[in-house]
């Protein structure tokens, strides 16, 4: 009778041990695979840093081509430089190369650091795309968040040791923790030769209703950022000093985005645009222009390869070059 009770007990214990062992193996394997994907061993070919990519791009010889340069953040990055180039070259006798050097999360103080490199391209025309986040401040960090962010930046800098700029943590996370580096291929994603710092994807999710789109609103802004505005002025003055024609355009934002802004935010931004127009000429405005077209990823970003946006940018270039 004791033997009959003993066998099932031993079997049950062994079953538990086997299941637990399998779980541990699967868990550890998953952890190792995840670490290898996001933090590959140094023995692998290292991914080029942002600094290296920028140096390689600007080291090209631009002297023998006529070029037009688009600059800005991801709002500008969604413009397909190839489509724009094909459209303007189908009209103009002089052929141009269109470069879109937008980068994710870019703001005027960061772009200001590349001013001299952009000048070496000797562009015939620069189109600078700005939005509210270019001129308004981000929400202030509380002490705890700010302290942790600074510590994280130090740790990541030492760990990756690749000259990356960590001033925009959201951009860093998207590029390195999610993408595994600038050059890592993703399904349905690619780098356009004339858009070297921005990864394009064809699998963006498009919200199906206004309510769903409203949930994607990334508005996290406060008052006017004088630092950003001053950096923009400095950059534009430098381009003008080199006789490089520069045109500003306000990138597309949905009315749902505008509805979430406070009156003071709208006043700050509109007053800044008015002053920019007085000093630098016409500012083209895409706010609310595509509200009824299902091309929105969120309320301030439209999807890439949107022919309407590309064609409108091409029209501005043609108007400014003629």
For position 10, what pLDDT does the model report?
Answer: 53
Q: What is the mean pLDDT of each run of 10 residues along the chain (322 residues)?
A: 51 64 68 58 50 80 92 91 94 95 90 94 96 77 42 48 48 43 49 78 67 66 82 96 96 89 89 94 94 86 81 96 88
Whole-number Å distance between alpha carbons of 40 and 44: 7
- Paired with 192 in beta bridges are 195
CB 121 within 8 A of CB 111: no
For position 15, what pLDDT does the model report?
Answer: 63
For position 143, what pLDDT does the model report?
Answer: 37
Task: Give the phi and the psi of residue 179 in degrees, each rounded to 5.
Answer: -95, -20
Cα angle: 231, vertex 235, 236; to 5 degrees: 120
Radius of gyration of the chain (CA): 25
CB 68 within 8 A of CB 127: yes
SS3 for 251-277 is: CCCCHHHHHCCCHHHHHHHHHHHHHHH
For position 211, what pLDDT does the model report?
Answer: 73
Question: Strand, helix or coil at 222?
Answer: strand
- Residue 47, both tokens: 């991914």
Whole-number Å distance between alpha carbons of 159 and 152: 10
- Paired with 302 in beta bridges are 296
For position 219, what pLDDT does the model report?
Answer: 56
For position 8, what pLDDT does the model report?
Answer: 55
């Amino acid at each position: 009778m004791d033997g009959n009770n003993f066998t099932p007990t031993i079997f049950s214990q062994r079953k538990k041990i086997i299941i637990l062992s399998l779980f541990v193996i699967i868990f550890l394997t998953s952890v190792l695979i995840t670490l290898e994907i996001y933090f590959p061993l140094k023995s692998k070919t290292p991914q080029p840093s942002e600094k290296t990519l920028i140096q390689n791009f600007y080291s090209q010889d631009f002297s023998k081509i006529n070029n037009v340069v688009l600059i800005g953040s991801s709002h500008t990055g969604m413009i397909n430089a190839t489509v724009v180039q094909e459209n303007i070259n189908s009209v103009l006798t002089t052929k141009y190369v269109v470069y879109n050097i937008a980068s994710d999360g870019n703001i005027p103080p960061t772009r200001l650091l590349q001013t001299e490199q952009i000048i070496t391209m000797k562009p015939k025309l620069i189109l600078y795309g700005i939005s509210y986040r270019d001129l308004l401040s981000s929400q202030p960090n509380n002490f705890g968040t700010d302290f942790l962010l600074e510590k994280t930046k130090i740790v990541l800098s030492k760990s990756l040791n690749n000259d990356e700029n960590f001033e925009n943590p959201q951009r860093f996370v998207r590029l390195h923790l999610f993408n595994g580096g600038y050059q890592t291929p993703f399904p349905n994603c690619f780098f356009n030769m004339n858009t070297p710092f921005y990864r394009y994807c064809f699998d963006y999710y498009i919200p199906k209703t206004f309510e769903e789109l409203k949930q994607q609103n990334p508005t996290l802004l406060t008052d006017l950022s004088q630092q950003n505005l001053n950096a923009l002025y400095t950059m534009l003055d430098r381009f003008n000093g080199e006789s490089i024609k520069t045109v500003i355009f306000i990138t597309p934002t949905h009315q749902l985005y505008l509805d979430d802004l406070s009156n003071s935010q709208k006043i700050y931004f509109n007053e800044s645009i008015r002053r920019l127009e007085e000093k630098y000429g016409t500012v083209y405005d895409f706010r609310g222009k595509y509200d009824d077209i299902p091309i929105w990823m969120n309320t301030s970003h439209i999807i890439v390869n949107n022919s309407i946006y590309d064609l409108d940018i091409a029209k501005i270039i043609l108007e400014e070059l003629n």
